[in-house]
Amino acid sequence: MSSNKILLTSSDGESFEIDEAVARKFLIIVHMMEDNCAGEAIPLENVTGDILSKIIEYAKMHVNEPSEEDEDEEAKKNLDSWDAKFMEKLDLETIFKIILAANYLNFEGLLGFASQTVADYIKDKTPEEVREIFNIENDFTPEEEEEIRKENAWTFNE
């Protein structure tokens, strides 16, 4: 049943043994299993060990995703605050890696959550602030810059 264990191996050789139920959160693994190309151990070439361990940690917490709204709002709140703490500890670089890995693994839940976290960094900030946060440089030509300034005039006044 779902007490089956699946072995995942990261690109740098780290192995993780997890329940099948948890592994099924990663649709890429579901597809592999359906196509019967999943043997005992599943190699994940595009994910390093440290990122994979974080992703598995998240997946384990979310393996029993409550689908009904009215059920147990307290459990939902606890989960939300665990999620918040989980993300708080991570720096931007790691969050990006998580997004890329979750995309590769096809793990929609974490992908959405991590994307929202990045979006929250951008929300309500001026372009200068966003550039600073993400270490981005302004590569517009003067003409492009002028045009953008005109188009976005309505966002400046605050």
Partner 1 sequence: MDAPNPKRPCLVPLGTSSIENPCSLPIAPDFNQSNIDLTISSFLSLSDLPLFSLPLSIGCSFDRVLDNVIPSIAGTSRDEFDQDRFLDRTLQLSSLLYKSTKRCIRKRATLQNSTSWPLLPELTIKVFSMLDTKSLMQASACCTMFNKCAMDRVCYSHIDLTTAAEDVDNGVVCVMIHRAGKELRSLKLGSISSSAEPTTSLLTRSCLTPLTFNHGFTGGHLRSLHLYHLRMIDCESLSPVLSACLNLTDLKIVGLISGSRDNPLEQLGLLTRNCRLIEHLFIEIYGAAGLITDSSLLEFAANCPNLISISLLGFLLNDAILQKIIKGFRRLKHINLSSSPEISGCFFRGLELCGKDSPLETLILRDCYILKESEVLLFLNSLLAGDFKYIRLIDVSNVDGLVRDGGNRTFEPRFPIEELKKQRSNVTFVAIFESQSSLSSSRFPLEELNKERPGLTFVAEFRSPSPSESDVRSPSPSSSSDSSSSSDSSSSSSSGESSDESGTEEEEDED
- Determine if 138 is a binding residue for partner 1 (CB under 8 A): yes
Q: What backbone phi and psi angles, to 5 degrees, belong to 13?
A: 90, 0
Between 6 and 101, whose beta carbon lies closer to partner 1? Answer: 101
Contact string 26-65 vs partner 1 (x = CB under 8 A): ----------------------------------------
How far apart CA 78 and CA 60 sit, in angstroms, is: 15
Under rule CB under 8 A, residue 146 binds partner 1: no
The rounded distance, in Å, linking the Cα atoms of 21 and 82 is 20
CA dihedral of 96, 102, 103, 105, whole degrees rounded to 10: 150
Rounded to a whole number of angstroms, the minimum distance from the CB of residue 151 to partner 1 is 8
Residue window 75-94: x/- pattern of binding to partner 1, with contact defined by CB under 8 A = --x-----------------
Distance of alpha carbon 158 from alpha carbon 147, whole angstroms: 20
Of 7-15, 22-30, 42-50, 150-158, the window that binds partner 1 (rule: CB under 8 A) is: 150-158
Question: In angstroms, what CA-CA distances link 146 with 130, 137, 140?
Answer: 19, 16, 9
According to CB under 8 A, which residues from 109 to 128 bind partner 1? Answer: 111, 115-116, 118-119, 122-127
